[in-house]
Chain A
Amino acid sequence: MIYASQSLGDLWNWLLQQFAELCGSLGIPEVIRYMVEKGAYAVGLLVFISLTALVMIYMERKVSAHMQLRYGPMWTGGWHGWSQTIADMIKLLLKEDIIPDKADRWVHRIAPIVIFVPSLIGFLVIPFDKYLIGADLNVGILLVFGFSSIAVLSIFMGGWASNNKYTLLGGLRSAAQMISYELPLVLSVLGVIMTVGSLKMSDIVMAQKDVWFLFTPNLLGFIIYIIAGTAEVNRTPFDLPEAESELVSGYNTEYSGLKYGFFMLSEFTNTFIISAIAATFFMGGWNGPSWLPGIVSFLAKTYLIVFLLMWFRWTFPRLRVDRLMDFGWKFLLPLSFFNILMIAVWVLVKK
C-alpha cells in the first residue's frame, strides 16, 4: 500500500511490484516486462528533462534579472512571465533552419544530436530517489563522464562544419578546454569513490546516510568539482567556447531554429547533470529529513548547485584561453592529485 508520506521512489517501486505480479499472473515473458518498465521510466525521464530545461531557463532569466536589478520576463502567461520559455521554444521551432552555403551539411546537421543524446543518457544513472534510478549500473559514474565527454566532439563538429572562423575558434577552444577540465573533474570525484569503495550510484548515496561528504575532507574535492564542472558545461567564468564579446556566439554562431535549440537545451541539461552529480556525490543525494520525500530533497540540493552556477555566471568576468589552460593544468590538476592523496590517507586512518 502507498500513503501520503511515502515518496515518489516508493511509489515507483510499488508500481513495479504490482506490474511484476500482473505479468507473472498473465505469463508475460521477463524480457517484455523489463522493456515496458524501462520504457515507462524513459518516457517519464523525457518529460522530466523537458520540464527541467524549461524551469532552468526560466530560472536563469529570473536569477540574472534580479541580480542585475531587473525583473526579467513579466508579461508572457500572466504571472511573472512564467510561460516565456514556452513561447521561446515555439519561436525556435518556427524559425527557419539555415545551413550556411559552404557548410559541411551532414556534420552540421548531426552535431546538435550528438550533443543532446549523451546528455540524455547521463540522466539514466542519476538516482532521483530510492528505487528511482534508470539503471543502477556498477559503473554508474563512469558512464556519465564517458558520455559527457562526447559533448566536446559535437561542439567541435558544430564549430568545424559551420565553416565560419568564429565557430572554428570556438570549437577548438572548447575541445582544448573540455578535455583538460575532464581530468580534474573525474579526479575530484575519485576521492568520493575511494571513500565509498564503489562506482555504483546507490552505494554512494547510501554511504552518506549519516554525514554528507561535503562535511568530510572531501570538501576540497567538492570545490574542485564545482570549478571543473563549471568549465565542463561551458558556463562563465569558463564560457570561452561561446565567448560572446570575442567570438560572437562561438561554436553555435551559425545555428538557428531547432538545432540551436538543441545546443541550448543540452547546455541546460548538462548543467543539471553536473549539479545532480554534485548533489549525489557530496550532498547526500536523496538523503534528507525523513518527513521530506527523497526526490524533493534531491531536487532542492540540485537546484542549489544550479543556482550557485548561475550566481557564478552573473558575477564573474571570463578567463582568457591561455590562463584557462594554465589554471586547469597547473593548479586544478595538482590540487586534485593532492586531494586524492589526502583522501587516501584519511580513508586509511579511518580504517
Chain B
Amino acid sequence: MIEQLKNSGFEEMTLNMGPQHPSTHGVLHLLLKMDGEVITEARPDIGYLHRGMEKIAEKRTWGANIALSDRWDYIASMSNNFAAVLGPEKLMSITVPKRAEYIRVIMAELNRIASHLIFFGTYGIDIGAFTPFFYAFREREKILDLYESVCGARLTYNYFRIGGVSADLPEEFIPGVKAFINYFRPKLKEYDTLLSTNPIFMDRTVGVGAITKEEAIDWALSGPNIRASGVNFDLRKDDPYSVYSEFDFNIPTGKNGDCWDRYMVRMNEMKESARIVEQALEKLEPGDIMAKVAKVIRPPAGEIYTHVEAPKGELGVYCISDGSTMPYRYKVRGPSFVNLAILQKMLKGLRIADVVAVLGSIDIVLGEVDR
C-alpha cells in the first residue's frame, strides 16, 4: 500500500534553503530533501563568500596578514588576530612582554563574550524571539565601545602585532571593563529568565539535534559544540597558549549534546570569560607592550601550526615560512567550517523548523567557513 502510494505521485520535495534566506546566518545554501516537513537528506553547500583568503595571505607581508585575519570570523576578530600572531612569534622565538600577554587575554575573552552575545541574540531570532537580540546587542555595543577606545575600530580591530599589541590601553579602559563586568553579570540572569528557561524555548531545543560524545570526536568538532557533548576539550586548558595557564577558570560542559546544551555551554562560558578578564585585570602591570622586533618581519624558514580557542572552536593557522617577508603557505583551520560538516548528519529526520534551531546552535560564521 505504502509502496503503491509512493509510486503514485508522492515525491520528495527539494527545498533550496539559502543562499538568500533570513536565517542561514549569511550565504549558506542548504539543499534539503523533504518528505512533508521532515528532512530526509541535507547537504550544506558553501563557497558563496569565498574570498581566497589563504592565497591572498601568500602575497601579503606577515604584518599585513593580521589585518586580513580580521576578516575570517568577523565577529570575533581578536581571536583571529591571536591565531595569526602566534605562528610567526613562535618561528622567530619572540617573547611577548607580560603586559601585552594580559592585554591579549583580556581582549580575546571580551571578544568571546561579544561573540557569544551575538550567538544568543541570533539564536533567539532563529527560534522566533526577537527581543533578546536587542538586549544582547546593547551589551555587545559596550564591549565594542571599549575596543574602539583601545584600537579605534569596532569590528575589524587589527590590534595584535607580532611581538605585542599595537597600542597601550587608554586610561578609561580598565575602569570601563570593570564597570562592564559588574553590569553584565546580572544581565546574564535576565537572559536565563527570558530565553534559557522559557518553556517554549526549551521545547524547541532540548533533545533536538543531539550529538553523542563519539560522533563529536569523529566529526572533529571543537569549541562549545564538542563541550556540549560532554567532551572536556578546551585549548586554553589542554594546550595553554599565551598566559592562559595562570588563570583559574572552569570549562562548562554539557551532557546530551543537544541544542540546549550547546546554548547553555556558551551562556556559561560567558561567565567564565568574565572571570578570566577580572583575573587578568588584577595581574595587569605597567610595562612594555611590544617586544623588540625588527621593522621588517622575516621569520626563519620553517613550518608551524598554532591554534587558539576561538569562540567558535579551535582556530588553527598552519604557516610555512621560506625566510622571506611573506608566508610561503598559509592554511587556516576555521572552526566554523569543520563544525558545519556535521550538519548533514544532524538534520536527517528533523523538521524544517529544527533546521534553523540546529544551524543556529552550531554557531557558524560564513566568513570563516568560506574564507
Contacts and interface: CB of A to CB of B under 8 A. Distances in A.
Interface stretch (B98-106, B111-119, B271-279, B346-354): B346-354
Contact of B201 (A240, A317, A322): A317
Among B130, B198, B204, residue most surrounded by chain A Cβ atoms (within 10 Å): B130
A69 B352 contact: no
B339 interface: no
Interface string A219-249: 0000000000000000011011001111110
B50 interface: no
B96 to A, nearest CB: 40
Interface stretch (B15-23, B72-80, B163-171): B15-23
Given A69-B138, A236-B128, A315-B129, A245 B203 contact: no
Interface in A301-331: 314-323
Contact of B351 (A67, A165, A320): A320
B309 interface: no
B305 interface: no
Contact of A315 (B21, B127, B131): B131
Interface residues of B, number: 31
B190 to A, nearest CB: 13
A70 interface: yes
Nearest to A247: B352
A68 interface: yes
Contact of B130 (A69, A165, A314, A322): A314
A317 to B, nearest CB: 4
A178 interface: no
Interface string B184-205: 0000000000110010110110
A155 interface: no
A169 interface: yes
Contacts of A67: 131
B356 interface: yes
Among B15, B129, B198, residue most surrounded by chain A Cβ atoms (within 10 Å): B129
A314 B131 contact: yes
B13 interface: yes
Among B198, B351, B352, B356, residue most surrounded by chain A Cβ atoms (within 10 Å): B352
Given A317-B201, A319-B203, A320-B354, A165 B13 contact: yes
A197 B222 CA distance: 65
B134 A246 contact: no
B58 to A, nearest CB: 39
Contacts of A316: 128-129, 198, 200
A237 B13 CA distance: 27
Given A69-B138, A70-B134, A317 B37 contact: no
B126 interface: yes
Contacts of B203: 319-320, 323
Contacts of A323: 203-204
Contact of A317 (B15, B23, B128): B128
A72 B354 CA distance: 31
11 contacts: A68-B130, A69-B138, A70-B134, A237-B200, A316-B200, A317-B124, A317-B195, A318-B127, A319-B200, A320-B203, A321-B351
Given A244-B128, A317-B129, A319-B200, 8 more contacts: A67-B131, A68-B130, A70-B134, A246-B353, A248-B21, A316-B129, A321-B351, A323-B203
Interface of B: 13, 15, 21-23, 37, 124-131, 133-135, 138, 194-195, 198, 200-201, 203-204, 351-356
